[in-house]
């Protein structure tokens, strides 16, 4: 608990988490507002379409998570952390836990905020949360943001440079996975197992493509898709911690 408290203090005494949280919420909720306001009629607005911008908010959240680690490497405070806590794995796990908790909270606000804005703009839209799929589409963003933050922390530990980590995360999350589909013959098969595409399978489920973001082509069920994404995040963190233990801070 002491490690968690220390990491919480370190995280919330810098400005970047606050700004990133605000930007993530503004982007996600802003997309919901634009899509709802520009819809030809209320029948084109539903739960899936209200969450269209969650991927852009997730990218900002991953920047937040990466900076939480790389800033310490940049200013050398990570050395003090490792001196105070010789067990590097415990220190880095505590940091990942705190950052993931914040990311999950931002995701919860973003999911329900987007849904609420869509409901406010198009009260006659199909926005009732009357099925498990609808609730996952909204509340599931919280889980995905938390796991994405763990991945970003892992990348931050491995790269240790803010610009490099942020570039890798943004380019991969927003472009690389989609570009993989362009590879002849095997592109779609590879894309089906890429982590953020699988995470979208959990969020979107068996929805209708025209009602929101393009559907995932992952063959997994939503439950197994979440397990796959969670496993990928934990493996990434384990690899990063293993690397951190073997090299100088």
DSSP secondary structure, 4-32, as one string: HHHHHHHHHTSSHHHHHHHHHHHHHHHHH
Alpha helices in the chain (DSSP H): 2-12, 16-38, 47-50, 54-75, 77-84, 88-121, 132-159, 162-171, 177-180, 187-191, 195-204, 222-246
pLDDT of 209 reads: 46
pLDDT of 210 reads: 45
pLDDT in tens, 193-243: 999 999 999 998 765 444 455 778 888 999 999 999 999 999 999 999 999
Confidence of residue 45 (pLDDT cuts 50, 70, 90): confident
pLDDT in tens, 86-130: 788 898 999 999 999 999 999 999 999 999 999 999 988 888 898
- Taking residues 174-199, what's their average pLDDT? 91
pLDDT of 249 reads: 59
- Evaluate if residue 36 carries a pLDDT over 70: yes
Local structure of residue 175 (DSSP, 8 states): I
- Taking residues 51-55, what's their average pLDDT? 91
The C-alpha angle with vertex 198 and arms to 68 and 221, in degrees rounded to 5, equals 135
pLDDT of 87 reads: 85
- Evaluate if residue 74 carries a pLDDT over 80: yes
Residue ranges per structural domain of the chain: 2-246
pLDDT in tens, 134-179: 999 999 999 999 999 999 999 999 999 999 999 999 999 888 988 9
CA atoms of 183 and 105, how far apart (whole Å) = 37
């Amino acid at each position: 608990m002491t490690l968690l408290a220390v990491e919480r203090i370190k995280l919330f005494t810098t400005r970047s988490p606050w700004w990133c949280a605000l930007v993530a919420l503004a982007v996600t909720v802003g997309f919901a507002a634009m899509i709802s306001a520009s819809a030809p009629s209320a029948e084109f607005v539903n739960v899936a379409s209200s969450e269209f911008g969650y991927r852009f908010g997730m990218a900002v959240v991953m920047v937040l998570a990466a900076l939480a680690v790389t800033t310490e490497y940049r200013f050398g405070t990570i050395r003090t952390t490792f001196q105070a806590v010789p067990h590097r794995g415990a220190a880095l796990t505590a940091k990942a836990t705190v950052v993931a908790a914040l990311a999950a909270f931002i995701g919860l606000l973003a999911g329900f905020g987007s849904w609420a804005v869509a409901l406010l703009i198009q009260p006659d839209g199909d926005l009732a949360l009357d099925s498990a799929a609808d609730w996952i589409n909204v509340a599931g963003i919280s889980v995905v943001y938390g796991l994405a933050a763990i991945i970003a922390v892992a990348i931050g530990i491995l790269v240790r440079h803010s610009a490099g980590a942020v570039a890798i995360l943004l380019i991969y999350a927003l472009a690389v996975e989609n570009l993989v589909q362009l590879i002849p013959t095997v592109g779609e098969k590879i894309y089906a197992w890429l982590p953020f595409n699988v995470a979208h399978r959990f969020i979107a489920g068996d929805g209708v493509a025209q009602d929101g973001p393009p559907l995932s082509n992952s063959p997994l069920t939503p439950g197994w898709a979440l397990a796959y994404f969670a496993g990928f995040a934990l493996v990434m963190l384990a690899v990063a911690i293993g690397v951190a233990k073997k090299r100088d801070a």
